[in-house]
């Protein structure tokens, strides 16, 4: 794995070359759009939203990650459709005296294909460390659930020119899982300053970080992993973001609660 200083110089040097080199490889990566419902929903509202998503037919992979109590409802509603589903967090443990925790095998029981790990709200509100995020990713993979590993810098870190360094730090324990594991996960870049604020990184700003992430993944033999962008993604800006060679889709927050908007992002 690249050291700290070599990663920074390597990633900055390769950003321009990756723009062309990955444009061809990107054709092999299916676009993936995941809706993160966060702590929203009730049985009635969910039913209407899921009914609108059921007919979705697109070459894009489409999924929703929902609160734990609604996994059974979502599994029943989306079974046999093109839309898959997942959860928003997972325990590092398989079973035991861990009150309030949900294990990866439990998620698998409900047909979950995906689980978010390391979302900025988990990192900031629950003090989740980079190593804990990697441990959660490992636990999900062991149960056959794909972890979506979230990384991203704060506004202060970006303004200080530390964005790439922060991403490297967050990714390091995940990359240490090894190529066999890393090739089976998804990475989502969510600049903290663009989540729920209405601010969005320009396509070029997002691409710069995505290219650096791609370089880090390539360094461990996992360069074809899907990398999603998240942070105030809407139908109005999705196409310009997706035009970038290293942006393979989106992790969508508030817009995923509006079926028409969400489906237009995925179109």
Just list the catalytic residues. 119, 190
What lies within 8 Å, CB to CB, of 226 at 6+ separation is: 29, 30, 32, 186, 187, 248, 249
Burial of 52 (0-12, 13-18, 19+ CB in 10 A): middle
Place of tokens 């080199």: 21
- Buried-state track 65-76, b at ≥16 Cβ within 10 A, e below 16: bbbeebbebbee
Residue 120: C-alpha distances to residues 170, 217, 255, 258 (Å)? 11, 21, 18, 22
């Amino acid at each position: 794995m690249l050291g700290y200083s070599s990663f920074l110089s390597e990633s900055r040097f390769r950003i321009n070359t990756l723009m062309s080199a990955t444009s061809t490889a990107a054709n092999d990566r299916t676009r993936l759009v995941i809706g993160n419902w966060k702590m929203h929903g009730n049985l009635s509202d969910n039913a209407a939203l899921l009914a609108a998503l059921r007919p979705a037919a697109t070459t894009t992979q489409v999924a929703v990650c929902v609160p734990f109590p609604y996994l059974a409802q979502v599994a029943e509603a989306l079974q046999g459709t093109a839309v898959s589903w997942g959860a928003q967090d997972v325990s590092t443990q398989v079973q035991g005296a861990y009150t309030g925790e949900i294990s990866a095998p439990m998620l698998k029981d409900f047909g979950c294909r995906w689980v978010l790990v390391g979302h900025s709200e988990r990192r900031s509100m629950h003090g989740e460390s980079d190593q804990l995020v990697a441990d959660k990713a490992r636990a999900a993979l062991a149960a056959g659930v794909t972890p979506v590993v979230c990384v991203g810098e704060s506004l202060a870190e970006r303004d200080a020119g530390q964005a790439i360094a922060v991403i490297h730090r967050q990714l390091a324990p995940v990359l240490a899982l090894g190529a066999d594991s890393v090739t089976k996960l998804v990475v989502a870049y969510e600049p903290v300053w663009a989540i729920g604020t209405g601010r969005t990184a320009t396509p070029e700003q997002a691409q710069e970080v995505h290219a650096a992430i791609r370089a880090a993944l390539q360094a461990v033999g996992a360069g074809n992993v899907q990398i999603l962008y998240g942070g105030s993604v809407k139908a109005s800006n999705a196409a310009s973001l997706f035009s970038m060679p290293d942006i393979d889709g989106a992790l969508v927050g508030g817009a995923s609660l509006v079926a028409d908007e969400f489906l237009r992002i995925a179109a």
